């Protein structure tokens, strides 16, 4: 059976089972290794924040495999805002979308009224989101103040057996983390 991603069925099954059972996974993204979990699982998100020593107020990014997975966040927005976000996807651009109906829990959104979302082209990220059928939390794999992991040995060095599953794979070709664009103001924030 041909795969459009480099993961075996078994690797995907383990990652999916880990996410559904409230676990924390590490996985390669476009530029750096990421930590991920089910955004609606408060305990899992709090574990990531604890691992990273990251304050909940800062909020985290959601990553999806398709616009359809985050359609519920686009629907309340104006047509022009929807078009502006979709223009950047799939790709290494994170868009800040107003979470008008408060559909994303505060433990992911942080102190913000917007949620940061990226529809990824990365084959591993896409496979994970498709396998779980939902967007996942995506935050760089490093303790606060340290360089984001760019190699699997750095992932293990930072967090070792505190992670429930490390999804194998290669980083995408990007040297820098995704650009962040506020689709309300049009400003680029990173």
Q: Classify 9-182 by CATH class.
A: alpha beta
| Model confidence, pTM | 0.94
Strand partners, 119: 64
- Distance from C-alpha of 83 to C-alpha of 53, rounded to nearest angstrom: 36
For the record, the structure tokens of 96 come out as 């800040």
- Distance from C-alpha of 185 to C-alpha of 103, rounded to nearest angstrom: 21
- Distance from C-alpha of 54 to C-alpha of 42, rounded to nearest angstrom: 15
pLDDT tens digits for 65-111? 999 999 999 999 999 999 999 999 999 899 999 999 999 999 999 99
DSSP-derived 3-state class of residue 184: coil
Q: 170 and 151 in contact (C-beta within 8 Å)?
A: no
pLDDT tens digits for 40-72? 999 999 999 999 999 999 999 999 999 999 999
136-140 and 25-28 as β-strands: parallel, antiparallel, unpaired? Answer: unpaired
Domains in the chain: boundaries: 9-182
For the segment 115-125, the average pLDDT, to the nearest whole number, is 96
Beta strands in the chain (DSSP E): 25-28, 33-36, 61-64, 93-98, 114-119, 136-140, 165-166, 179-182
């Amino acid at each position: 059976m041909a795969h459009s991603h480099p993961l075996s069925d078994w690797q995907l099954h383990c990652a999916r089972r880990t996410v559904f059972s409230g676990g924390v996974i590490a996985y390669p993204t476009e530029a750096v290794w990421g930590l991920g979990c089910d955004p609606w699982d408060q305990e899992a998100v709090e574990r990531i924040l604890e691992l990273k020593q990251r304050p909940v107020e800062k909020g985290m990014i959601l990553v999806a495999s398709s616009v359809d997975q985050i359609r519920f966040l686009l629907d309340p927005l104006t047509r022009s805002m929807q078009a502006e976000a979709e223009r950047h996807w799939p790709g290494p651009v994170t868009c800040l979308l107003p979470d008008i109906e408060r559909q994303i829990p505060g433990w992911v959104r942080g102190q913000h009224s917007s949620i940061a979302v990226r529809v990824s082209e990365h084959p591993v990220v896409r496979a994970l989101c498709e396998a779980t059928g939902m967007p996942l939390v995506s935050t760089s794999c490093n303790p606060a103040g340290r360089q984001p992991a760019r190699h699997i040995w750095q992932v293990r060095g930072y967090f070792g057996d505190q992670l429930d599953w490390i999804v194998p794979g290669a980083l995408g070709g990007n040297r820098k983390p995704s650009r962040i664009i506020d689709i309300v103001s049009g400003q680029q924030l990173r």
